[in-house]
Amino acid sequence: MWDQLLQEIKQGNIKSLARTISLVENEYEGYFKLLQQLPPSPSKIIGITGPPGAGKSTITDALIAEIVSRNKKVGVLCVDPSSPFNFGALLGDRIRMSEWYNHPDVFIRSLASRGSLGGLHPKIIEISDIMKAAVFDYIIIETVGVGQSEVEIAGLAHTTVVVVVPEAGDEVQTMKAGLMEIADIFVVNKADRPDADQFVRNLRWMLMPSTKEIVAEIPVIKTIASQKVGIGELFEKIVEHLALVDSTERKFLLLAERAYHLIQQYRMKNISKAALKLQIQENTDFNLYQFIQQYI
C-alpha cells in the first residue's frame, strides 16, 4: 500500500496525497517506513506567520494567485486552531480560499494544531516532507499566529514571512513576540491605513541593529493584500531569499533543526504527564533528578 501511495504522490495524484497525509497524521501502521523512502526534493517551504488579524490568509491567497500566474504549482498547509470536541480544524481555509479549491496547480489542506504550543500541527514536519515529494514548486505553511511560540515556523520554512499591521504600539508587540529574530521578510499589510508609512519607518529603524552583521538586509514590504497590491514585490523578495538559502549554511541548520525536533518527538512518544504523575504519587521519597534518570 505505502509503495503504491508514494508512486502516486510522485506522479501528482492529489487524492493519494490527501489520503497519505491523513494516514500519517493519525500514525497509521507502517507510516514511518513511507517517510524513510521519501526522495530528496527541490520544493521550497514558505512560512507565513504573524499575530491574529494581520491578514495572513489574505496574503496566502494572494501569493497563490501570484505563483499560479507564473505557471508554478503550489501546495498550501493552513494550520488552524483545534476544535475542543474533535481536534479538527476550526476555521477551514478551504472555504476562505474557495477560488483555488479545484485548481489543478493548487492543493490546500487545513490542519488542526491539536493543542500544539507552537501553533503548528505535531506532524507538520512529516506532512510537509510528504508534500515535497509531490510536484509542487512551492509549499506555503500558514500558522495559527499564537504569539511567542510562532517562532517554531522558523525551524521549518526556508523563508519566513512575518505579517504585521500598522496599529498603535504594534512595533512593541512585534518585539515581544520574538518575531524580529525569525523574520526573513516583513510584510506590513493593510498599508492603506493611517500612519502606515510611519509604522514602516519605525520597523526599519528597529531592524537596523539586527542587520549590521548580516549581508542581506531584512526587507519590509508594504501590501494591501485584499487588493493584491504589493504581492508581486513580496514574491520577488521571497524568490531572492530562497536562492540565498541554498548558498548558505541556513540549509543545513534547517535540516539539523528538523532532525532535533523529530528525535525529541519520537523519544518522548510513550511518555505522558498523566503516567508521570501516577509514578510520582507512588514515590514517597521523591527526588526529581533521580526520577528522570530512568528516561535520559
pLDDT in tens, 127-161: 999 999 998 999 999 986 655 445 567 678 899 99
55 pLDDT above the threshold of 60: yes
pTM attached to this predicted model: 0.84
Q: Is 131 exposed, middle or buried (0-12, 13-18, 19+ CB in 10 A)?
A: buried
Q: Does residue 292 carry a pLDDT above 70? A: yes
How, if at all, do strands 220-222 and 44-49 pair?
A: unpaired
Can you give the pLDDT at residue 64?
95
CA 7, 13, 19, 22 torsion-angle sign: positive
The ranges assigned to domains in the chain are 40-248, 249-296
CB atoms under 10 Å from CB of 164, counted, come to: 25
pLDDT tens digits for 40-54?
A: 889 999 999 888 888
The set of cell numbers assigned to 206 is 528597529
Q: Residue length, the chain?
A: 296
Q: Are the C-beta atoms of residues 108 and 101 closer than 8 Å to each other?
A: yes
What percent of the chain is modeled with pLDDT above 90?
A: 39
Helices 231-245 and 250-267: crossing angle in degrees, nearest 10, is 80
* pLDDT classification of 209: cutoffs 50, 70, 90: low
CA distances from 241 to 165, 232, 246 (A): 22, 14, 9
Residue in 89, 231, 244, 216 with CA at minimum distance from that of residue 159: 244
Q: Strand, helix or coil at 133?
A: helix
User: Residues near 8 by Cβ (< 8 Å), separated by ≥ 6?
Assistant: 16, 17
Cell numbers given for 102: 479545484
Question: Is the per-residue pLDDT at 215 higher than 60?
Answer: no
Rounded to 5°, angle at Cα 76 from 11 and 58: 150
70 sits in which H/E element: none
Q: Strand 159-164 and strand 185-188: pairing? A: parallel
Residue 83 has pLDDT above 80, yes or no: no
**CA nearest to 246, candidates 158, 119, 171:** 158
What does the pLDDT look like over 4-31, one tens digit per residue?
999 999 999 999 999 999 999 988 999 9
Cα–Cα distance for residue pair 44/65, rounded to 1 Å: 17
- Find which of 51-60, 75-84, 105-114, 246-255 is predicted with most confidence, using mean pLDDT: 51-60
The pLDDT tens digits for 92-132 are: 444 556 678 789 999 999 887 654 444 567 888 899 999 99
Q: Which of 169 and 54 is assigned the larger pLDDT? A: 54
Residue 202, C-beta contacts closer than 8 angstroms, at least 6 positions apart: 171
Q: Cell numbers of 225, please?
A: 493584500
Cα 225 to its chain centre, rounded Å, is: 19
First to last CA, the chain: 36
Q: Averaged over 244-267, what is the pLDDT?
A: 82
H or E segment to which residue 227 belongs: none
Residue 170 reports pLDDT greater than 60: no
Is the model's pLDDT at 82 over the cut of 70? no
Single-letter residue type at 150: E
Residue bearing the bigger pLDDT, 209 or 183: 183
What is the pLDDT at residue 295? Answer: 84
Q: Whose CA is closest to 185, among 139, 231, 226, 145?
A: 231
The predicted structure's pLDDT at residue 174: 57
Tell whether the torsion through CA atoms of 277, 267, 75 and 181 is positive or negative.
Answer: positive
- Across the chain, mean pLDDT equals 82
> What is the dotted CATH code of the domain comprising 40-248?
3.40.50.300
Cell 504585521, residue?
A: 164
34-38, 176-180, 240-244, 250-254: least confidently modelled range = 176-180
Higher pLDDT, 213 or 281: 281
In this predicted model, what pLDDT tens digit does every residue of 217-240 receive, in sequence order? 789 999 999 999 999 999 999 999
